[in-house]
Amino acid sequence: MPLDKPYAGIPGTTIFDADQSRKGYWLNQFCMSLMKAENRERFKKDERAYLDEWPMSEDQKLAVMARDLNRCIALGGNIYFLAKIGATDGKSFQQMAGSMTGMSEDAYRDMMVAGGRAATWGREEDKK
């Protein structure tokens, strides 16, 4: 019997809970492998071959190769593990977060310095 998850309906938010952890286990293990220089080099040399060494879903592998971090999160990735991909690519966490919001690094930084986005951000009525 599934647990009641009152947080499941928060718009634009994926909560990394036990279900997400199970779904993304191998994706996150792959990310952690990038902590070793030799693994980063192997990944950069042939991303697909390196990813194929991991029992990840095809969707997870494609999301990694596309650097679609929002999709990686939906597929069970944890942002703190996914940050290893950005670091492998020479990107800062700020650059990664900006790309996830569709903003430039500077626009993202300015938004965060100004206090972040409104809690209503992303709702359909706020896009009008």
Q: Which two tokens stand for residue 15?
A: 């909560």
d(CA 49, CA 51): 6
| pTM (whole model) above 0.85 | no
Residue 121 has pLDDT above 70, yes or no: no
Query: Is residue 31 within 8 Å of 77, Cβ to Cβ?
Result: yes
pLDDT at 122: 55
Summarised one tens digit per residue, pLDDT across range 10-52 is 777 888 899 999 999 999 999 999 999 999 999 999 999 999 9
**What b-and-e string marks burial along 57-78, b requiring 16 or more CB atoms within 10 Å of the CB?**
eeebbbbbeeeebeebbbbbbb
Residue 3 has pLDDT above 80, yes or no: no
d(CA 70, CA 47): 19
Q: Which two tokens stand for residue 113?
A: 């310095």
